Amino acid sequence: MVELYDNGHGINTPGKCAPDKSLREYKKARDLVMDIVARRRAMGYDARILVPEEKDISLGERCRRVNEICKQYGTSNVLLVSVHCNAAGADGKWKSAGGWCAYTSPGQTKADIIATHLYNAAQTALADYIKDFPIRKSNGDYDSKQQPIRTDYSDGDPDYEARFYILMHTRCPAVLTESMFQDNKADCDFLLSPEGHKAIVDLHVNGVESYIKSLKR
Ligand SMILES: [Zn+2]
């Protein structure tokens, strides 16, 4: 299995940052992917960074790279995880939404199975975040509707479904993760903390590991 990790956006992407600029999505995504790939490689897997460049690479080119590897190795031997941070707005103001979630394309595919493994891994890796969430909610960091793990069970599994370009135009199973909200102060502090960073890396590493192991059974 070739594991491809995509880091959203680039240094030249406008917006996509915390209101106080303490976090930029392209940078956090790159730092997360670098650590996820290093960990997966150390575990003996063929994990690769899809976009080694700092600048933004078009979605068309990202998909072309993925599909080229699918052609080389066979589509069923490739998976893609696209790593992003969420945002509730783009007006440069702090918001009250928070939490972690993953997206797949509409319909049931192998991507939904990978996403479910990531959701299961999130329960463990984000245990401290989940535990603190109600306290932070009562402090006003999150509005009353928020959940630490955001789910959409309308189609029977926890992930959200969306026709995102990278999910629709890649041949292999593809999941897009939104790790916390960069425009929520509490989430942003979590993302910037070493513990938070490690928890999100763990979630991806352990979720993919659990999926790969399930294939071998
Ligand atoms: Zn993004």
Q: Is it true that domain 2-216 has CATH number 3.40.630.40?
A: yes
Cα separation, 19 vs 15, in Å, equals 9
Calculate how far, in angstroms, residue 190's C-alpha sits from the geometric centre of ligand 1: 17
Domain spans, the chain: 2-216
Cα-to-centroid distance, 124 and ligand 1 (Å): 24
DSSP state, residue 75: G
For residue 217, the CA-to-ligand 1 centroid distance in Å is 34
Whether pLDDT at 85 is above 80: yes
pLDDT > 70: percent of the chain: 100
- Residue 65 is predicted with a pLDDT of 98
Q: Where are the beta strands (DSSP E) in 51-198?
A: 78-86, 100-104, 160-161, 174-181
Rounded-to-integer distance, Cα 105 and Cα 168, Å: 6
Q: Work out the pLDDT band at 216, boundaries 50, 70, 90.
A: confident
What single-letter amino acid sits at 181?
A: F
Q: What is the pLDDT of residues 39-84, one digit of tens each?
A: 999 999 999 999 999 999 999 999 999 999 999 999 999 999 999 9
Ion ligand 1: residues, Cβ under 5 Å: 8, 84
Interval between CA 27 and ligand 1 midpoint (Å): 11
What tens digit of pLDDT does each residue of 176-206 get? 999 999 999 999 999 999 999 999 999 999 9
